[in-house]
């Protein structure tokens, strides 16, 4: 080990002193059958952090990556242990590295491949081997439609699209990229950012009893950073789940742990900000979906897709039915782009890809927007976790690759201090949840004509205006106040409501 590497490792050890995995309590299954295995039961964020488990920067980390990526540079930092193939026949390598080396591995892939990701990470070789033994990418890629992918809900979707506000998305990106030095998975800042996202998303539910939020902590190697899940319970098909997600962590090649300088404005504050605007518009309109819709902010994506993999594997082991996943990772760089967005055509479901392109052609093409295609390689983002678990997933990426990713200059300033590019992704996301989640129809007492669709939302102020120190979960209407960190429970599903 070089003197430079010893210095990096030692500073990482000190910087990570306050990071770790929060303890939690088990809760009953919700209406979809899902049961978060660890939900924080602490009084506030400070207590949550003080009880955390330290992460050892010298700890072994076991990577599953493609042979091409390994030979292309990962081998500089990791030693090979075994050669394997996944269910699609891809040549893979299981390799061993140390925790403190992950930022360099991630940055190296970014510099060589001009993309993010590239590997899954595990705490033991046994976990890596088990992941590959149970890997179900072939099922996800070859299975026919997991649900009706018809496009017939324009009455809900069309009024939403003009309500997308660039200023809201820009404000959230700015907040997430400046309120903390980083959102690194093994820093206290990464934990604080997750709490802010949970509270912000839950507040947009305005106390609705069918809207709940949780911190998913059942990830043994996420460094104490929870993933965030906001659930809008389905009214007719609550066991069928629609997912829209992006990752909440950030990383850079400058500093370590709490001292890391990683604003991550495009990667992936832009995706989280886009999801926040989708949630705002859909919920403010009074929309109630037929299927259950879950909005997710994944932990520890930059160090091996850890948060999303933990969630996807948990859903698979519980036998939950996920009918479609849309990944929003980097949505705001369009400089010199030929298209409004690019569909990633590898490591994702062809059937869901077709659905997403039809959504684009139905709702965005009439606005004068165009789309392209591209590939991003093995394990490039969180949709790969869902594919590996056997669920249909797809990803739309920004028009052009942002070459400042994983640096101190991944800021709004280098994207023109604008979020115009992300507004298109918000519209696509609204179309995705509206057409796949569908809309619960309120019937008259005699079951005849459906009642009119609820009025669309009016624009509101950016969620980023909320104080960054807010950690209190907003309770449902007519409920007792919930403790900070406790999951707000949704009531049981009901049949279609009948009115005179």
The residues that are catalytic are 247, 267, 301-302, 329, 406
Q: Which residues have C-beta within 8 Å of that of residue 367, sequence separation ≥ 6? A: 161, 427
The Cα 372–Cα 358 span in angstroms is 13
DSSP characters for 357-373? Answer: HHHIIIIIGGGT--EEE
The Cα 326–Cα 245 span in angstroms is 6
- Asked if residue 384 lies in contact with residue 117, where contact means CB atoms within 8 angstroms, the answer is yes
DSSP conformational letter for 246: E
Q: What is the largest CA-CA distance in the chain?
A: 79
Q: Which residues have C-beta within 8 Å of that of residue 108, sequence separation ≥ 6? A: 73, 74, 76, 77
- Asked if residue 69 lies in contact with residue 95, where contact means CB atoms within 8 angstroms, the answer is no
In this structure, what token pair is assigned to residue 319?
Answer: 């036998």
In this structure, what token pair is assigned to residue 364?
Answer: 């965005």
Other beta carbons within 10 angstroms of residue 76's beta carbon come to: 11
Instruction: Name which of 214, 238, 294 is nearest 36 in CA terms.
Output: 214
Q: Please name the residue ranges forming H helices in 146-213.
A: 154-160, 166-178, 188-204
The Cα 445–Cα 167 span in angstroms is 43
Q: Which residues have C-beta within 8 Å of that of residue 226, sequence separation ≥ 6? A: 22, 40, 191, 194, 215, 216, 217, 219, 299
Instruction: Name which of 149, 180, 153, 165 is nearest 324 in CA terms.
Output: 149
Phi, psi of 278 (to 5 degrees): -60, -45
């Amino acid at each position: 080990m070089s003197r430079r590497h010893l210095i990096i490792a030692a500073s990482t050890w000190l910087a990570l002193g306050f990071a770790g995995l929060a303890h939690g309590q088990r809760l009953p299954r919700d209406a979809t059958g899902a049961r978060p295995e660890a939900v924080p039961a602490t009084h506030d964020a400070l207590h949550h952090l003080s009880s955390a488990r330290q992460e050892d920067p010298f700890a072994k980390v076991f990577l599953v990556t493609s042979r091409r990526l390994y030979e292309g540079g990962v081998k500089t930092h990791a030693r090979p242990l075994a050669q394997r193939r996944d269910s699609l026949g891809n040549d893979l390598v299981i390799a061993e590295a140390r925790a403190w080396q992950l930022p360099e591995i991630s940055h190296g892939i970014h510099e060589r491949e001009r993309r993010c990701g590239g590997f899954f990470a595990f705490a033991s070789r046994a976990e890596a081997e088990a992941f590959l033994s149970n890997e179900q990418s072939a099922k996800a890629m070859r299975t026919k439609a997991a649900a009706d992918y018809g496009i017939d809900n324009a009455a809900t979707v069309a009024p939403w699209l003009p309500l997308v506000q660039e200023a809201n998305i820009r404000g959230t990106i700015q907040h997430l990229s400046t309120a903390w030095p980083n959102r690194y998975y093994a820093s206290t800042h990464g934990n604080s950012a997750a709490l802010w996202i949970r509270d912000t998303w839950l507040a947009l539910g305005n106390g609705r009893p069918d809207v709940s939020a949780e911190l998913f902590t059942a990830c043994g190697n996420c460094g104490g950073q929870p993933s965030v899940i906001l659930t809008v319970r389905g009214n007719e098909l609550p066991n069928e789940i629609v997912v829209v997600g992006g990752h909440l962590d950030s990383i850079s090649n400058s500093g370590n742990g709490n001292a890391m300088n990683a604003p991550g404005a495009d990667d992936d504050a832009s995706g989280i900000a886009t999801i926040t605007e989708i949630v705002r518009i859909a919920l403010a309109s009074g929309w109630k979906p037929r299927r259950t819709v879950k909005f997710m902010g994944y932990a520890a994506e930059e160090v091996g897709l850890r948060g999303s993999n933990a969630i996807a594997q948990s859903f698979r082991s519980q036998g939950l039915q996920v009918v479609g996943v849309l990944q929003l990772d980097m949505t705001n760089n369009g400089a010199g782009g030929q298209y409004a967005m690019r569909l990633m055509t590898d490591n994702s479901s062809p059937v869901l890809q077709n659905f997403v392109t039809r959504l684009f052609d139905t709702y965005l093409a009439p606005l004068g927007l165009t789309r392209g295609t591209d590939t991003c390689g093995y394990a490039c983002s969180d949709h790969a976790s869902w594919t590996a678990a056997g669920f249909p997933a797809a990803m739309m990426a920004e028009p052009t690759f942002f070459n400042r990713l994983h640096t101190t200059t991944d800021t709004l300033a280098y994207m023109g201090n604008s979020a115009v590019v992300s507004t298109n992704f918000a519209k696509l996301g609204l179309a995705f949840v509206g057409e796949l989640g569908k809309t619960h129809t309120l019937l008259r007492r005699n079951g005849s004509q459906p009642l009119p669709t609820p009025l669309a939302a009016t624009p509101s102020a950016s969620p980023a205006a909320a104080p960054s120190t807010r950690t209190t979960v907003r309770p449902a209407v007519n409920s007792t106040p919930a403790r900070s960190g406790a999951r707000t429970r949704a009531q049981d599903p009901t049949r279609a409501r009948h009115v005179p």
